[in-house]
Amino acid sequence: MIRTVAFLAALAACRPGPRISVPAARGAAIGTLSLQWSQVHVVLGEHPLVIDSGSPGDFGQIVSGLRALGVDLRDVKCAVITHGHADHAGTARALQVKGIKIIAGAGDLDRTTRGIHGPHHPTSWFASILKHFLPVHYKPFTPDVQVTDRFDLAECGVAGEAVWVGGHTPGSLVVLLAGGTIAVVGDLFRGGALAGYVRKSSPKVHFYQDDKTLAHQRVRELLARGVTLFVMGHGGPSSRAQVENKFGH
């Protein structure tokens, strides 16, 4: 197992640089930053929307990665934190200090206000080992917007909404864009093998789920409402056909 983790670390060192993962022709242009433990996405536009904030210590890399995509942090009004795990909420407080409005699920307040990852609920033997290597603490923060149902992102300069789904964590959010055809789903599921570094677009059950049944139900609900492209916190993006094949039954 130590060799496997070392191999994943070597793969992480070879992760791709900042890139456009979803072209504007899909209805919303999305850039992606691949960090050590997760991905940060940014919906490009006059006022870009940051989605997730990496792990503690990632802030400098996020700023430089956004700059490489042509994004000045001063133009960002809002950041959506899809859930309160340390690899997604890790620098939310640093963004908040910069004057960026933080949007997160009310159901994860016990995590975000204390800066703790919370309990792991592994879905595989590999995940039960991997959890010992993951960050577990981050700077606590209180979200400026605490979503219990849905939040219109128009005031952030983006045509879309943040929607509560739960499942992965009690407060997990999904961001719907392009008239609901694109869903940024956080960790409802992951993409690819070897922690997302191989066959990135292939949907997989996430390593950890507080409520796996609910998480997968939410994926099917997104399919039912017409989502055609899924953008994840690890690996991806995945097409509708790929997600239907994995979770649609």
Per residue in 106-130, pLDDT tens? 999 999 999 999 999 999 999 999 9
Say which DSSP state 100 is in. Answer: P
**pTM (2 decimals)?**
0.94
Spatial strand order of the sheet with 238-239 comes to: 150-152, 160-164, 173-177, 182-184, 229-231, 238-239
Class of domain 2-247 as given by CATH: alpha beta
- pLDDT band at 166, cuts 50/70/90? very high
CA 227, 230, 235 angle in degrees (round to 5)? 170
Q: Is the per-residue pLDDT at 21 higher than 70?
A: yes
Answer whether 155's CB lies under 8 Å from 88's CB.
no
Residues 26-44, mean pLDDT to the nearest whole number? 97
pLDDT of residue 51: 99
Answer whether 38's CB lies under 8 Å from 195's CB.
no
Those residues whose C-beta lies under 8 Å from the C-beta of residue 196, and which sit 6 or more positions away, are 190, 232, 234, 235, 236
Q: b/e map of 144-163 (b: 16 or more CB within 10 Å)? A: ebbbeeebebeebbbbbbbb
Mean pLDDT for the chain overall: 93
Say which DSSP state 86 is in. Answer: T
